[in-house]
Chain A
Amino acid sequence: MLKNAVFQSKFLPYWLVLPQLAVVLVFFYWPALQAVAQSFLLQDAFGLSTTFVWFENYQELLADPDYFSAILRTFVFSVLIAVSSLSLALLLAVMADRPLRGSMFYRTLLIWPYAVAPPVVGVLWIFMLNPSLGVIAHGLRAIGVDWNPLLDGNQAATLIILAAAWKQISYNFLFFLAGLQAIPGSVIEAAAIDGARPMRRFWTIVFPLLSPTIFFLIVVNIVYAFFETFGIIDTMTRGGPAKATETLVYKVYSDGLLGGNLGSSAAQSVILMGIVIALTAFQFRFVERKVNY
């Protein structure tokens, strides 16, 4: 990590890091510390006085059945989003990895949803699945499904998961494709000469060699499902009906903004920070070690 050739200068390096350091201190560390501090405070209803209450906000939070159902819900959403978008993306990447005519065409058409913003994704899907005028909703009605996500919590959740997974397919597809292309063709040919059929070759050679990518993507997808689904949820269901689509991040937002409960909102933020740090550390420990670039 040390370069042998460096410049000597007493003040210049400080001037160079100053802009970034200033931005990071003011807009990152200061608010992060405030969040931690705020989580130990209790504010009265009018915001006139605050009292230091140690872990009361946390205790209240952890005793709140609503918070536990939000944790569980976020977890279920994450797993469903990750599993569905990862498996579809893997299938598509394996197909696009073959020397096919027009493979560039397929790749281009498959990667661009990466660039579509979550609220736009939400708008697209809510339109297609709108009970009274959506194209897909009509189809569902035709096959006898009583479709009304505005009232039915499970249907609303399905809506969110569908839209979120749809957006994530392209991202996963890109990484799978890159991972597949890094596998040397000679290994697969050797297995073919030994008489291994395509399915067997996939499960015994390709899949294990791809496992670091898969692992990495699982972590990324979980982080995505935690944070970036906010825009989708807010445009599609706003956490409803009856909190059926309220995830942890959405709860931070709605408790803080709509409920005005800053202490609890801050405590939730701190818990979320803990989760993200744990996930990142987990990823570094288990993925970075196994992957050779």
Chain B
Amino acid sequence: MVEHRRFGNLLPHLILWVGVLIVAFPVYIAFIASTQDNATIANGQMSLLPGGHFLETYYRTLFVGSSGTTREPVGTMLFNSFVMAMLIAVGKIAISLISAYAIVYFRFPFRMTIFWLIFITLMLPVEVRIYPTYKIVADLNLLDSYAGLTLPLIASATATLLFRQFFMTVPDELLEASRIDGAGPFRFFWDTLLPLSRTNMAALFVILFILGWNQYLWPLLITTRDDMQTIQIGIRKMIVTSDALTEWPVVMATAVLAMLPPVAVVVLMQKLFVRGLVETEK
């Protein structure tokens, strides 16, 4: 600290607490609502302390499903979201690693053309080319499949750029050395480059997992079967326009469950995640 003040750090603490309150309040309310019974909430008499229906609501949410529009239990949706997020994260990292490797470590005709073809994809989120992409996925018979859910989202270049940048900083001597040891392109990639990229891969995994888990518009369009629904779609279908029919405790329990995996990933891998975020987005 540059200077000492009489009241110390009272003001910063106060401001930070207000910030934490603003950030945490909606989630606290969601949790509270998920432990109370539907009638109390529908009457607008929700208390700010946990009720006694915690186990009952969560059991029903996870394994039985709500009686409203979506009859699929949230357990299935969680599974679908998990598969989707994993496929996007792992798939994107895998194809980006090898294409970045080719672009950095090989000289071949059309190298820069290919690099630019990949680079341009950075600029356009799936939202702006949504209908044509939908049509192509439909023509390929990939509606309601995990491939259809994930492939269009894998088609962008963030990871390739990150790996390319990282590979550029790997000293040339490493390649010379493994060449002297008689290593070919595969051995060098597997024994030298991959272990060096571990932290980058982990950080990227966190970001891509969250990105995949939180997808909304795309799964909304291409999944029609209830059992292929992801949790983000399921939750919106639970909100019925007329208040009386919405089972708020179940909706709130679903919201809490939908938040848990990505938030856990962020909190557990905070350091890695922060570094990865700063590196990829800038």
**Would you call B99 an interface residue if the criterion is a C-beta within 8 Å of the partner chain's C-beta atoms?**
yes
Q: Are A23 and B131 touching (Cβ within 8 A)?
A: no
Residues from chain A with Cβ under 8 Å of B124 in the complex: 28, 32, 273, 276-277
Compute how far the CA of A149 lies from the CA of B122 in the bound complex, rounded to whole angstroms.
36
A24-B117, A117-B216, A133-B42 known; A3+B104 contact, CB < 8 A: yes
Q: Are A95 and B16 in contact (CB under 8 A)?
A: yes
User: Is B51's beta carbon under 8 Å from chain A?
Assistant: no
Inter-subunit contact B2/A189 (CB<8 Å): yes
Say whether A19 contacts B98, CB under 8 Å: yes
Across the two chains, which residue of chain A brings its CB closest to B170?
A: A3
Query: Are B151's CB and A7's CB within 8 A?
Result: no
Q: Are B210 and A276 in contact (CB under 8 A)?
A: no
Is A108's CB under 8 angstroms from B127's CB? no
* A117 near B168: Cβ-Cβ < 8 Å: no
- Bound together, the chains give a CA A121 to CA B30 distance in angstroms of 11
- The residue in chain A whose Cβ has the minimal distance to the Cβ of B40 is A133
Is A147's CB within 8 Å of the partner chain B? Answer: no
Cross-chain contact of A111 among B1, B131, B168, B270 (Cβ < 8 A): B270
Are A230's CB and B270's CB within 8 A? no
- Please report whether the interface of chain A is mostly helix, strand, loop or mixed according to DSSP: helix
Q: Are A115 and B266 in contact, CB atoms less than 8 angstroms apart?
A: yes
Chain A residue nearest in CB terms to B32: A135
Q: How far is the CA of A169 from the CA of B16 in the complex (A)?
A: 13
Quick check: is B272 within 8 A (CB to CB) of the other chain?
no
A211 within 8 A of B: no
* B1/A99 in contact, CB under 8 A: yes
- Residue among B3, B132, B243, B251 making CB contact with A38, cutoff 8 Å: B132
Q: Is A230's CB under 8 angstroms from B217's CB?
A: yes
For B59, the chain A residues whose CB sits under 8 A away are: none
* Chain A residues, CB < 8 A from B30: 124, 127
- Which of B43-99 touch A at CB < 8 Å? 43-44, 46, 48, 94-96, 98-99
Tell whether B154 is near chain A: CB-to-CB under 8 Å. Answer: yes
Do A31 and B129 touch across chains, with their CB atoms under 8 A apart? yes
Size band of the B side of the interface? 35 or more
Give which listed residue, A8, A17, A170, contacts B23 with CB less than 8 A: A170
Q: Are A138 and B44 in contact (CB under 8 A)?
A: yes
8 Å CB contact of B168 from A1, A227, A269: A1
Q: Are B155 and A28 in contact (CB under 8 A)?
A: yes
Known: A17-B102, A27-B152, A95-B12. A128 touches B265 (CB 8 A): no
Of the candidates A25, A135, A234, A256, the one whose C-beta lies within 8 Å of that of B216 is: A234
- Shortest distance in angstroms between A146's beta carbon and chain B's nearest beta carbon? 16
* A23 and B95 contacting across the interface, CB-CB below 8 Å: yes
Identify the A interface with B (CB < 8 A).
1, 3-10, 12-14, 16-17, 19-21, 23-35, 38, 88, 91-92, 95-96, 98-101, 106-128, 130, 132-133, 135, 138, 166, 169-170, 174-175, 178, 188-189, 192, 216, 220, 227, 230-231, 234-235, 249, 252-253, 256-257, 262, 265-266, 269, 272-273, 276-277, 280, 291, 293
Q: What 5 A-B pairs come out closest when comparing CB atoms?
A: A34-B132, A31-B132, A16-B102, A115-B262, A117-B214
- 11 extra interface residue pairs, beta carbon distance < 8 Å, beyond A91-B15, A98-B9, A114-B210: A117-B214, A117-B232, A123-B252, A132-B243, A133-B248, A230-B217, A234-B217, A272-B127, A273-B128, A276-B123, A280-B122
